[in-house]
Structure 1
Amino acid sequence: MRGLGVQSWLRELPDAVIVLFSLVTQLGDVWFLLLIVTVTYWVGPQLPRVDEAIDRRRAAVVLGTVLAGLVVVTVAKELFGLPRPPGAGEAPQTGLVPAGLWPLYEWFSTGSGHGFPSGHAIGSTVAFGGLAWALRTGRPRTRVAIATGLVVVVSISRLVLGLHYLVDVLAGIGVGLVVLAIAIALQEPERVFALGAVVGAVGLMIVGPITDLVLLTGVAAGAALGWYVFADGLVRSPTRRAAAATVVSGVVVAGPLLLLGEVVSLSPEAAGPIAFVGGLAVVAMPLVGERVEKEIRRQNDA
């Protein structure tokens, strides 16, 4: 019923198309979306051909929007509890993937847990839509068109791989647009981070202490505090040296904490504090670096 007949003809696509879409679908995976928005937040003004097209504040709004979107989809999946299409946990058979790469292909092309709404559809909508709003380069229509194309391709990949029904991805895009609109209306990063934390806290009261939800809520809460405490006095144009220091500091401080929460099976009681500190570090490290640079500039000018 939720497939509206689409899945039946998608099963007949050539193997090469299936393998291609197993790669394309990573554009909407959590690891990729968090990577691109975090890197944009950390070093956006220093990225080649980006320069002044984005500032730290708008990048922080995008990061908060993605966190809020992930919180929403985690709560929604538990509330609805609707299954994925049959066979979603098994990789589509093909002779094009070497045996040595099969585990990676299997990871790319399978899904587990509840199916409605599509997390990839929500995540790609808030991430690419947020970046289209935050980047002030080129024509707005062009940015929106690129973001729309990426969302559509990611959503199609979920259908081709048999991981979602059509209704799942359409609902995901719709929910993502609502989250994006609310985040842009809130304007201030601390409000957007707080949105994710509040929705997560309410969700925990409704669906219970699910570890993934605890992790996301903790990261959003830590990020909100990090921005609230350290965001005053941003440097307009940090140097490339400061940007490099930001990346190194962020990777050293926040990386192990967030990686621990992702790869180690943690209890909700342990996941919350680790995620909170990790989220605070991700947001605070570049802000602290900018404060230091501002102080150095002040002393040099004195």
Structure 2
Amino acid sequence: MFRFALSLQTRGFGENALAQAPDALVFLFGLVTQLGDQWFYFVAFTSLYWLCRPRITARPRRTAASFVGLALGSLALVTALKVGFALPRPPTAAVAGAPAWPSPLSDLFVSFTTDDGFGFPSGHALGTTVVYGAAVSLLDVWDRRRRLVAAAVVVGIVSLSRLFLGVHYGVDVALGVLLGLGFLKAIFLVAAADDPDAAGHLDPARLFAIAAGLSVLALAVVFATGLSGHTENAAAALGGSLGGLVGWTRLADHESLPTLSPPVALVAFLVAGGLWVGVDAAAAPVPVTVLATAAVVAFILVAPRLQLRFGGGENARRAD
């Protein structure tokens, strides 16, 4: 085990492959890498759940909730692995010279093209493999072969962007993808929906329960190693998982609930997103982070019911 850890400690090259590349190209790769970031998942899956697009998937609410559970489970697993191995990123990971662009573009350039914390395995590689890999089975748009190609392309370009930006070594990305595939295979074995009408789909309640268990493991690893600076992700994953479990199981017949009207969706998104960002910025204690993120995810799931009860949702368009 020690030899394996030592070999990973000196695990090859991780320098920016195109250090002299134009700023615009570097920024483009920084944008690409956002396809595997937690904020992107938050926006995409919340939008799918609230606005519902049956042309994308026959069961938009179940699918969106499944994606949320998968993202939280991936975050918890990556946190446990990163802290457990405690292997550094390449020296270039936190280095980025801001171009002479107007603010906030120059600030976004630095934010999108740098990273900190531990590097092994790549959370973006693992997470995109899980989320976009699951989309191959969970979505109905196009045919399965085209969905598979699209998922492979997204995973490939996000993984490549991590290497190009110099925030990961090659082995971080490669094993991140392999771990993601293994995790995804296990999920479809243990969290498949029992409902015969939902064949091929996942059970969000089981996904949230699995994510909660992985989050507890991640917190245990963080406390055992004394690396308290990595508590936030584990606590957020735990809170989100518990909120998802409560929110999903408290509702019945999710697909029949109305979609949110655009004005209500905008206000609700600002409230939920503001709370999530606020907790993240404040570096709140673990109990506060768990409670706040639980409230955010539970609110996302029950918002259609709240609109139906308080906002005259009877006349809103139904999810089905």
TM bin, normalised by shorter chain, reads 0.7 to 0.9
Matching residue of 2:106: 102
Distance 1:165 1:265 in 2: 28
Per-residue deviation, residues 108-161 of structure 1 (Å, max 9, x unmatched)? 111100000111112222222223322112110101110110111011001011
Per-residue deviation, residues 221-248 of structure 1 (Å, max 9, x unmatched)? 1111110111x12344x555x4547624
> Out of 277, 280, 287, which is 1:259 matched to?
277
Distance 1:114 1:4 in 2: 13
Q: Which moved more, 1:76-85 or 1:257-266?
A: 257-266
Matching residue of 1:234: 254
Matching residue of 1:193: 208
For the Cα contact (< 8 Å) 2:59–2:255, is it kept in 1? no
Q: CA RMSD in A?
A: 2.8
Alignment of 1:10 onto 2:13: no
> Out of 169, 172, 182, which is 1:168 matched to?
172
Distance 2:98 2:266 in 1: 41
Matching residue of 1:83: 88
Distance 1:293 1:105 in 2: 41
Distance 2:270 2:124 in 1: 28
Closer/same/farther in 2, CA of residues 52 and 159 from structure 1, 3 Å limit: closer
Matches within 5 A, 1:131-170: 131-170=135-174
Matches within 5 A, 1:12-27: 14-15=21-22, 16-27=24-35
Per-residue deviation, residues 192-248 of structure 1 (Å, max 9, x unmatched)? 011111111122223226122111111111111110111x12344x555x4547624
Distance 1:18 1:51 in 2: 32
Give the aligned residue type for 1:35: V
Distance 1:20 1:205 in 2: 37
Closer/same/farther in 2, CA of residues 150 and 51 from structure 1, 3 Å limit: closer
Structure showing the higher helix proportion among its residues = 1
Closer/same/farther in 2, CA of residues 256 and 102 from structure 1, 3 Å limit: closer
Alignment of 1:224 onto 2:245: yes
Alignment of 1:274 onto 2:258: no
Distance 1:5 1:205 in 2: 30
Alignment of 1:37 onto 2:45: yes
**Unmatched 5+ stretches in structure 2:** 1-6, 192-201, 316-320
Matching residue of 1:300: none
Distance 1:220 1:41 in 2: 16
Distance 2:13 2:162 in 1: 12
Closer/same/farther in 2, CA of residues 111 and 12 from structure 1, 3 Å limit: closer
For the Cα contact (< 8 Å) 1:33–1:124, is it kept in 2? no
For the Cα contact (< 8 Å) 1:68–1:179, is it kept in 2? no
Distance 2:248 2:16 in 1: 48
Per-residue deviation, residues 4-39 of structure 1 (Å, max 9, x unmatched)? 755468145632532321222122222112211221
> Out of 208, 212, 232, which is 2:233 matched to?
212
Q: For 2:52, what is the secondary structure of its paired residue?
A: helix
Distance 2:118 2:11 in 1: 18
Per-residue deviation, residues 222-278 of structure 1 (Å, max 9, x unmatched)? 111110111x12344x555x4547624632553332222222221113212112212
Distance 2:69 2:267 in 1: 20
For the Cα contact (< 8 Å) 2:258–2:313, is it kept in 1? no
Distance 1:7 1:80 in 2: 17
Distance 2:140 2:311 in 1: 25
For the Cα contact (< 8 Å) 1:235–1:294, is it kept in 2? no
For the Cα contact (< 8 Å) 2:88–2:120, is it kept in 1? yes
Identity fraction in percent:
31
Under a length normalisation based on structure 1, what TM-score does the superposition of the two structures give?
0.84
Distance 1:294 1:55 in 2: 22
Per-residue deviation, residues 162-184 of structure 1 (Å, max 9, x unmatched)? 10001101111122223323333
